[in-house]
Amino acid sequence: MPLFEELTDEFSREDIAAGVQQISEETITAVVADAIQMTGLKRVSLSGGVLSNVKVNQRIREMEVVEDVYVHPNMTDGGLAAGAALKAWAGDVSKSGEKPSPRYLKDVYLGPSFTNDDVERAIGKFSFKAEKSDNVEEKIAELLKNKTVSREPNSCPSHRAFSRNTAPSTTRDGIATRRRRVS
Task: Give tens-digit pLDDT for 76-91.
Answer: 877 778 888 888 999 9
Residue of 167 and 62 predicted with greater confidence: 62
How many CB atoms within 10 Å of residue 166? 13
Asked whether the predicted pLDDT for residue 166 surpasses 70, the reply is no
pTM: 0.53
Q: How would residue 1 be classed by pLDDT, with cut points 50, 70 and 90?
A: low
How many CB atoms within 10 Å of residue 152? 20
Lowest-confidence pick of 9-18, 20-29, 30-39, 57-66: 9-18
Gap between the Cα atoms of 79 and 77, Å rounded: 5
Task: Give tens-digit pLDDT for 97-126.
Answer: 998 887 777 777 777 888 888 888 888 888
Domain boundaries, the chain: 3-71, 116-179
Lowest-confidence pick of 84-93, 106-115, 155-164, 171-180: 171-180
Task: Give tens-digit pLDDT for 41-74.
Answer: 999 988 888 888 999 999 999 999 999 998 888 8
CA trace torsion 63, 68, 69, 73 (10° rounding)? 170
Asked whether the predicted pLDDT for residue 153 surpasses 80, the reply is no
Cα–Cα separations (whole angstroms), residue 4 to 11, 16, 34, 110: 11, 11, 31, 42
What length does the chain have?
Answer: 183
Asked whether the predicted pLDDT for residue 96 surpasses 50, the reply is yes
